[in-house]
Amino acid sequence: MRRFFVLILVCLSLSACALWPNRDPLAINVVGIEPLPSQELEMRFAVKLRLQNPNETAIDYNGVALDLEVNGRPLASGVSDQRGHIGRYSEDILVIPVSVSAFSVLRQTLGLSQTQTLDNLPYVLRGKLAGGLFGTQRFIDRGRISLSNPDAW
């Protein structure tokens, strides 16, 4: 009887996984960075992201978190409790405040080699749109930035 019960549970678990809709990943692009009022040992920026939803279902979110690495080292992080809706086959611009500590800038500076410039540095932006128990959408964006030319963002 116990084996039969375990077999039923396994079958139900497998069939439940098949009911989850397949979703394509969100397309994320950094479209801008603007300075915000800062404190003594930190800098604050508003990171603007364009999120594109290539799915047949809308995405509702109730929180955003970001982590930004530049040149393989953590540089900035931010969170926001903003709520929103990205319709099916639609896009939206999100603005998320991030903080950069003086220690992060120091780590970045010490990590640069003498021959390396502030042009064409690799970055990785990781984040998530919170959407309830199973609705959280994680995303990642990779690219290259020029810190000596802020207009390159």
pLDDT in tens, 47-104: 898 989 998 888 888 999 999 888 888 888 999 999 988 999 999 999 999 988 877 7
**Residues 77, 109: Cα–Cα separation, whole Å:** 18
pLDDT single digits (tens) 94-150: 999 998 887 777 766 676 654 456 677 888 989 988 986 567 888 888 888 765 555
Strands of 4-120 (E only): list them: 27-36, 42-53, 59-61, 64-70, 73-80, 84-86, 90-101
| Annotated domain spans of the chain | 24-152
Q: What share of the chain is helix, strand, coil (3-state, %, to 5)?
A: 20, 50, 30
CATH domain 24-152 topology:
Immunoglobulin-like (2.60.40)
For residue 49, the tally of other CB atoms under 10 A from its CB is 21
